[in-house]
Structure 1
Amino acid sequence: MSGALRDAADRAPELDLLAGVGARRRRRTRRRAQLLAAAAVAAVAGVVSTSTVVAQGAFSSGGGEETAAQPNTTATTEARPRPRKKVTPTPSPKVTVTATMTAKPQAQIKGMPIAKLWPQALFQMPAKNADGWRYRPITSLNATEVLLAAEPSADKAGKIEVYDAKTGKSRVVTEIPRTRGLKQYFTQTVSTDGTNVVWCSSASKDGTTVAELWWAPLSGGKAQLAVTLTGGGAAVEAIGVDGESVVWSTRKGGVYRKPFTNGAPNRVPKSDGLHLISWPWAGDASTDDEEFEKFGYNQSKIVNLADGTVTKVVTKDGMKDMRCGPVWCRGRQGTTSVVQRVDGTGVKKLPKGFGMYAILDRFLRSAENVYDLNTGRLARIETPGGWSSNGTSSEPSTILYGGTTKGKVDRYWVLNLAAVPPAQ
């Protein structure tokens, strides 16, 4: 049985991100595709229990999604392609860009392959570290470096590492400890400010939910436990880091801060009822699936918790499910998915299935597309390995990755959105 599951995990490694499904209620609607994929892998492995497959993971994605490759469809778009120098990029997934989407459908125009449009943003890397442990990409640190979790087995998180696409080398940041006496221990989500890395691990003890928040310097060093939360306070939905403290919000609302060393946890001023999006930004609408689907209410403001600035979200009549970062909002009018700026301008229609928050205040990811809000280009992803996933960061991850071949995965292809030039 265990051998079959390990084989299934090798053939569909993105499914490991499902760990903690039973422990956490906060899951976005698009995660349902994950459960279907997990069941499919279980069937291939000769295992009929979906819950058994789900239990194999160690990381879950706060802002990401994973999916099996979808059938080809063509978006109705408009483009202004510019001539570019011939580039021979590193072998990469076949991605087709169909171009600018507007509120009114335009004539179909074939776009540029992403390998030619953003060649500097695509690269390949090993799927395992020097110890043979499976990598789980988290997010990018800059245009060349990717933050990774390395797992000795499907149900354990062993190290945090950094891979540099420029040098082709990895380095260890820290080992991920596991506190004795805790059961069902999973590392749920990770965040970084470019100097430090923090993560939340959830577990149970004597029937009580426990959450541990850890931190380590990205330059390297021993991981240190910042705070242990229990009961209702352990319902952590998002985490972040402000340079000297770990910050987090809970499903019931409220953002909290705890210094890395010394000091006690405290509520961030004027954060009552707020939900952390990406430090220092927070909003007044939950991202919890049950809340989101049941009420369909809109976010009314975006708050900068570092300086207390509050910006009102301008919502057009008929808008629902509006969720906003500091620049862009995504919601719907009836059954139509739309995006707009926080001030209500720049309204555009979108295909269904895009994430709630813009990555780098610029990109939206769906199961098979990346949409550039700055240029209006829509990049279609055709995954060579049959699956793709966002990294496992708490905030929307800046990377998308997948296997380079079907079957056992030895290498990943990675799209690093932080490496995309501003004007492209």
Structure 2
Amino acid sequence: MRDRDEQDLVRALRGAADDAPEPVGDLPTAITERRRRRSRRRARAVLAAAGVLVVIGGGTAVARNVFPSGGGEGVSVTGVAADPSSPAADPSEAAGKAPEVPVNPVAEVWPEAVSIIPAKAADGWKYRPITGLSATELLLAAESSFEKAGRLEVYDTAARKSAVLAEMPAPPGVKGYFVQGVEVGTDSIAWWGETPNNRDEWADFWVVPRTGGPARQVGEVTGAQAHVERIGVTAGSVFWSVRAGGVYRMPLTGGSPEYVAGTDGLHLWSWPWAFDVANGREGEDWDRNQTKLFNLETGQTVAVNAPDGAQGLRCGPVWCFGASGDESIVQRTDGSDRRALPGLLGRMDYTPLAGGRFGFFRLSPVTGRDTEGEEIEDFRVPLAAVYDPVTGRAAGVGKRNSSGGGGIGTGTSSSPTSIIYWDEDRRQVEKCEMEDASSISAPPGAPTSTGKTEVCSTIEKGGGKELTVVNLLAVPPTE
């Protein structure tokens, strides 16, 4: 969570968008899809179409080279009829293609997992979902301003009520402090914070009983130990991994940090598991395959059997998701039960969700091409899909608006979250203005443009009242 104004971000990113490549991006907490019209060649600086992802619930980020599949032709969405006003699709488009994974709306697949919650607390602070505490309890951060978390609340989806769990204070005398990843343990909830807009290498850790109460600062770290990427919490210690690899721990009673022997090159996934690839918040190691998981409690190592040609394989203790060529794949860690997932384009989050069971994939609205080669798009196709390898079922999540865009977020927990959410009433609107062509950046060596050209950007309107939340802890382990 960062100290920055949303409009400042949009202005800054708009300036960077001119030279950005076609987006294939990912965001661990949220994403924005946009309408692709490759046949339209007018000059534009549309944020969502120029490598910048403007998102709800997760800030703003520049797209990285994340989706290994690189796109593809649509997905079959069961129960969604083709648009009768669209030109007929070229039947040759589907020739020789494997059947795509059927995707039904999540409210039909797992109705017990879907809830509508208020987007704000009673005092007007905005809610940011973190993760599920149980099938009916959601852990939320209440923010006084953009990404400025001030307290933890628990929302009961059955009773439709929230309760304050703990305040999230800043340490005395520390300016520019922002809470980062929150982690739920068996007995405690922990989080870490930093001063992201300063150049100092500093971070601290806090803990509160899972039942609630006053938060307590565990301790502070500096230097390389402050390059925190993820944390874990046990009855006696807080653990964290750093971006360069390696795991540290500190007693909840305070004290000096201690390096955990044998964790060179390891990164926390979800306590007690660590793996041997970076957590990818900035795209590092995305295509590299994970080779193992290591249990920090027992010392057990689980080897990952990656198939030839696999890219970006990421695994929990049981299931792995990745890509092979242009297709997404799923398998068990030992390589068994390997399946291709046609139509599920590229995973939306860096690691599987909810204990390694679920995959989270992008969906395309493109259902084919007409006789002139134009893409046919159905904007009733959800933004993304959650795939359960246990049952083989896929559920569509997120709402695509009439421009093809839309926002979707994932909870901000340190471990892979169990929450996906979006604002049904929030929409993207394209705003276009005529500007001097000379003011638009051009690639090096390209001739300078003259005259006027139409420059467009996407802005978000509406929403802000309710969030649709999918809590995967409510999905039965077997069906």
| Aligned counterpart, 2:312 | 321
Counterparts in 2 of 1:310 and 1:291: CA distance versus 1, 3 Å:
same
**Distance across 2 between alignment mates of 1:109 and 1:321:** 21
Counterparts in 2 of 1:36 and 1:171: CA distance versus 1, 3 Å:
closer
| Aligned counterpart, 1:398 | 418
> Which residues of 2 match residues 150-189 of structure 1 at below 5 A?
150-189=142-181
1:304 to 277, 295, 300: 295
| Aligned counterpart, 2:393 | 377
- Indicate conservation of the 8 Å contact 1:186/1:202, yes or no: yes
Cα deviation, 1:32-83, whole Å, max 9, x if unaligned, reads 996978xxxxx99xxxxx99x99x98899xxxx9xxxx99932499xxxxxx
- Indicate conservation of the 8 Å contact 2:272/2:297, yes or no: yes
Q: 5+ unaligned residues in a row in structure 1: which ranges?
A: 10-14, 19-27, 38-42, 45-49, 78-103
Aligned-residue Cα RMSD (Å) equals 3.7
Paired residues, number: 358
2:137 to 123, 142, 145: 145
2:324 to 321, 333, 342: 333
Identical amino acids, percent of aligned pairs = 41
Counterparts in 2 of 1:237 and 1:327: CA distance versus 1, 3 Å:
same
- Indicate conservation of the 8 Å contact 2:58/2:409, yes or no: no
> Which residues of 2 match residues 10-89 of structure 1 at below 5 A?
30-31=26-27, 73-75=74-76
- Indicate conservation of the 8 Å contact 2:288/2:311, yes or no: yes
- Residue 106 of structure 1 deviates from its aligned partner by 4.6
**Distance across 2 between alignment mates of 1:107 and 1:291:** 33
| Aligned counterpart, 2:219 | 227
Moved over 4 A (4+): 32-37, 56-60, 104-112
For the residue of structure 2 that corresponds to 1:418, the secondary structure is helix
> Which residues of 2 match residues 124-273 of structure 1 at below 5 A?
124-203=116-195, 207-273=199-265
For the residue of structure 1 that corresponds to 2:353, the secondary structure is coil
| Aligned counterpart, 1:365 | 360
TM-score by length of 1: 0.74
Of Structure 1 and Structure 2, which has the larger fraction of its residues in helix? 1
**Distance across 1 between alignment mates of 2:178 and 2:335:** 40
Give, as a single letter, the amino acid of the residue that structure 1 aligns with 2:473. Answer: A
Give, as a single letter, the amino acid of the residue that structure 1 aligns with 2:117. Answer: M
**Distance across 2 between alignment mates of 1:204 and 1:279:** 25
Counterparts in 2 of 1:128 and 1:245: CA distance versus 1, 3 Å:
same
**Distance across 1 between alignment mates of 2:288 and 2:230:** 20
Cα deviation, 1:304-344, whole Å, max 9, x if unaligned, reads 11111011111222223222211112233334332221101
For the residue of structure 2 that corresponds to 1:232, the secondary structure is helix
Counterparts in 2 of 1:154 and 1:234: CA distance versus 1, 3 Å:
same
Give, as a single letter, the amino acid of the residue that structure 2 aligns with 1:416. Answer: N
Which structure has the larger Rg over C-alpha atoms? 2
**Distance across 1 between alignment mates of 2:464 and 2:138:** 18
Give, as a single letter, the amino acid of the residue that structure 1 aligns with 2:295. Answer: N
**Distance across 1 between alignment mates of 2:360 and 2:58:** 23
- Indicate conservation of the 8 Å contact 2:77/2:102, yes or no: no
Give, as a single letter, the amino acid of the residue that structure 2 aligns with 1:353. Answer: G
Cα deviation, 1:223-261, whole Å, max 9, x if unaligned, reads 111121222211111111123321110011111111211
Question: Within the alignment, does 1:122 sit opposite 2:114 as a pair?
Answer: yes
Q: 5+ unaligned residues in a row in structure 2: which ranges?
A: 14-23, 34-44, 47-51, 79-95, 363-383, 427-461
Counterparts in 2 of 1:343 and 1:183: CA distance versus 1, 3 Å:
same
| Aligned counterpart, 2:90 | none
**Distance across 1 between alignment mates of 2:392 and 2:416:** 19
**Distance across 1 between alignment mates of 2:418 and 2:398:** 19
**Distance across 2 between alignment mates of 1:183 and 1:57:** 23
- Indicate conservation of the 8 Å contact 2:29/2:412, yes or no: no
Cα deviation, 1:175-195, whole Å, max 9, x if unaligned, reads 111124434422221110243
